Structure 1
């Protein structure tokens, strides 16, 4: 059995950070379930506050040994000297080190430490090296850092990417990379009979982090351009001010009576929402993978995704939904087409469930992850094997 050290600055139950928290926890839980020795290093980050969990102590979280370290900064930097000191002392003891995310101090310094200790870690950037990321706030500073220290550090890793489109975006880095999908919690709730019913209403669902990246403004505008009856349920965490702005936009567009805001859904509630919808909609500006697409399909609900969603080619090739441009006109045209083909939804639902259960089998994925962990390139020579002891109590 393999030993794997995982590092991410934000971990469950800090679901405010969206998909990476779910993806990373499922990797660790499935590895542990198959008997591999896993340790998760993280911080107590939970947005502007900290998780109410003991700091700097080993505990078991859904079967995964986890240490939540105290962080000194409560912004997205998540600076945690004690976490970094643990990485420095222990990273060479594991068969593999798997680091998740980018653009924060625990991750960047962990990559640097691994290089200094002669360890080549796997890095899952979780969409944080996408073209969209470099067009967001602070893009100039990110671009400068990326072209200097960022590229240097990234070349010391093996990149784990979750889609071919993400791999293409990262090709300029010039380091080894491989593509493996995320683990997905598959739906235990499936209701084929409700799909494509005779009611002249298309029941739409958006379930994801409510964030400008998701392009909900274009979806709302698209809904003003269609000529059939519909309902839209919006579920997921997000900043209160941004959600309030979307609600104002919905009122302005005359959509308020057709939209239901569900807040954060988890477990049975989440999968019930998927199963009750005719169509899941994700018109994002950018998604490296999009776990929610697979969750929806596993519940038998076909999807409409933008071309910028990492799984768009998978959806198109497998015939599990529709792909469109991210502009409101394209979304509206796709919705019109889907409504005219509404009777196809039931057959598509059955095909989706069978396909996802085959393609995203947790046991098969675990075998693939372990093979990647253990087939690493020769590790670089350690730069600092002979170091004087440091008093960790300082941290």
Structure 2
């Protein structure tokens, strides 16, 4: 089976959605699938230099190939005519394309090219069909959808949602394309020496470590989390807050949050790390007593799954669409998107260290069973085979 994975960028600065493609590609390769990733060399905002990678030739990594193409003519939108020309010329060499992102010009155009070359394709919307996301730039998206994305969705072999809740609430623009629900995957982490990140950041063992690790974006609920933490601090709660993340596409918002924390009573109880990767990221996840993400909408929440995999209980909103799984597995605490509810769940979780440990153990067991890359790869291969079998029957 020869599969294309098409995504606007796989740079680390774009966070979980991009990195998921790399994890999936490696897992598929381990199951014997030939995978080629088509992407651009985009690396953040226009002011940032592009990725320093070979262009328009295969780069071998972890059992699969990546082909990078230059962003041109619209670098800001991660668009690449070269990528589309390559796809048009080589589409017949592949069995199926898995296209990641809607309302992104190169993904939109790639679906159109795939359809013109009779290459079946699966579309993963990355949460862009969520009504809350569609409200942003609503008029532009309505036009874009009517002209471009509706035909792309209608012509797709399936729409890849990462949770039943995402599938349930997503807009389809009147199309009847089948849903394919497959979660995202996480790697089983190596266990690092306990307290490594606390030592590096100067956080005492006596202070519970509350971790926010995600893109710093208005949808992530920091306008709920900061006031909730201020209330707890005023009540005399003992904790240290670590804010890990950034936003290369909206540095103004990131700076606003940094300034807010500097002016807050939380200032002496907060560490801002910026983006963390590799062992530093793993060490933070393993040392955290709680992982907090009170998002307004989150089609899956890969950072939540990563925290769980590392044995850290989570406090999330009921708009993180795996919240029901978290609740049923007793892997953390779930709040609504308001300060009072979040404050209560944080207060309850901070009050009982043994309960945090129990839920952290539950979280790890659930994540390793349900979000392992091997399980995700096998489910994805099954979906690909069903699509190809259906195509064969239709002739």
Q: What TM-score do the two structures reach when normalised by structure 1?
A: 0.89
State the distance in 2 between where 1:267 and 1:182 align. 19
| Long gaps (5+) in structure 1 | 383-395
Aligned to 2:199: none
What is the CA-CA distance between 1:212 and the residue it aligns to?
1.5
Q: Does 1:202 align with 2:172?
A: no
What is the CA-CA distance between 1:348 and the residue it aligns to?
1.9
Distance 1:29 1:67, change over 3 A: same
- Aligned residues of 2:292 and 2:314 also touching (Cα < 8 A): yes
Q: Which among 334, 352, 358 is matched to residue 347 of structure 1?
A: 358
Aligned to 1:152: 151
Q: Give the 3-state SS of the residue equivalent to 1:348 in structure 2.
A: helix
Aligned to 1:386: none
Aligned to 1:248: 259
Q: Give the 3-state SS of the residue equivalent to 1:375 in structure 2.
A: helix
Q: Which among 39, 44, 56 is matched to residue 36 of structure 2?
A: 39
Distance 1:74 1:263, change over 3 A: farther
- Aligned residues of 1:119 and 1:379 also touching (Cα < 8 A): no
Q: Which among 167, 178, 181 is matched to residue 179 of structure 1?
A: 181
What is the CA-CA distance between 1:361 and the residue it aligns to?
2.9
What is the CA-CA distance between 1:61 and the residue it aligns to?
3.2
Q: Give the 3-state SS of the residue equivalent to 1:229 in structure 2.
A: coil
Aligned to 2:78: 78
Q: Does 1:232 align with 2:241?
A: yes
- Aligned residues of 1:120 and 1:379 also touching (Cα < 8 A): no
What is the CA-CA distance between 1:192 and the residue it aligns to?
8.8
Residue by residue over 1:263-321, the C-alpha shift from the partner in whole angstroms, topping out at 9 and shown as x without a partner, is 11111111110111110000111111111111111111100011111211111111100
State the distance in 2 between where 1:298 and 1:79 align. 35
Aligned to 1:215: 221
Aligned to 1:378: 391
Aligned to 2:3: 4
What is the CA-CA distance between 1:380 and the residue it aligns to?
11
- Aligned residues of 2:194 and 2:287 also touching (Cα < 8 A): no
Q: Give the 3-state SS of the residue equivalent to 2:53 in structure 1.
A: coil
Q: What TM-score do the two structures reach when normalised by structure 2?
A: 0.89
State the distance in 1 between where 2:374 and 2:354 align. 34
Q: Give the 3-state SS of the residue equivalent to 1:292 in structure 2.
A: helix
Aligned to 1:95: 95
Q: How many equivalent pairs are there?
A: 375
Aligned to 2:298: 287
- Aligned residues of 1:114 and 1:121 also touching (Cα < 8 A): yes
Q: Which among 319, 323, 338 is matched to residue 327 of structure 1?
A: 338
Q: Does 1:311 align with 2:322?
A: yes
- Aligned residues of 1:45 and 1:74 also touching (Cα < 8 A): no
State the distance in 2 between where 1:340 and 1:59 align. 50
Q: Does 1:268 align with 2:279?
A: yes
- Aligned residues of 2:209 and 2:288 also touching (Cα < 8 A): yes
What is the CA-CA distance between 1:39 and the residue it aligns to?
0.7
Residue by residue over 1:225-258, the C-alpha shift from the partner in whole angstroms, topping out at 9 and shown as x without a partner, is 2221211001123244322211221233321111
Q: Give the 3-state SS of the residue equivalent to 1:127 in structure 2.
A: coil
Q: Give the 3-state SS of the residue equivalent to 2:165 in structure 1.
A: helix
What is the CA-CA distance between 1:381 and the residue it aligns to?
9.0
- Aligned residues of 1:77 and 1:103 also touching (Cα < 8 A): no
Q: Give the 3-state SS of the residue equivalent to 1:188 in structure 2.
A: coil
